[in-house]
Amino acid sequence: MAKLVYFAWVRERIGKSEEELDLPAQVTTVRDLLDHLKTLGEEYEHALQYPEVIRVAINQEHVEHSETIAGAREIGLFPPMTGG
């Protein structure tokens, strides 16, 4: 089980701010995860239509899409940041 948290328009498009998901064994990297989520329904497809723009954090630290998700307690998905 992995806890997924969503922010900004990723949250709005998926329609929830967090969820716990059982992930198939073949989902091992962030890129695999994004591909898998896109198969879960049109709201996910809409949110993750351009996966290359999605920023990801594992256990609240930024990671690249090539990173493994093994050991992840919390995975955050969000658009590029616009604070400051």
Partner 1 sequence: MSAPTPTIRVQAEDFDLPSELLALTKGRHDIGAVVTFSGLCRDEQGALSALELEHYPGMAEAEMTRIASLALERFSLLGLTAVHRYGKIMPGENIVLVIAAAPHRQAAFDGANFVMDFLKTSAPFWKKEHAVDGSARDWVSAKDADDQAQEKWR
Least separation in angstroms between residue 39's CB and partner 1 is: 25
Tell me the C-alpha distance between 6 and 16, whole Å. Answer: 7
Amino acid in the structure at residue 28: T
Q: 24 or 84: whose CB is closer to partner 1?
A: 84
- In terms of DSSP bridges, do strands 61-63 and 2-6 run parallel, antiparallel, or are they unpaired? unpaired
Least separation in angstroms between residue 24's CB and partner 1 is: 26
What is the H or E stretch that residue 62 is in? Answer: strand 61-63
Q: Which chain residues interact with partner 1 by CB under 8 A?
A: 5, 7-9, 57, 60-62, 76, 78-84
Q: 21 or 78: whose CB is closer to partner 1?
A: 78
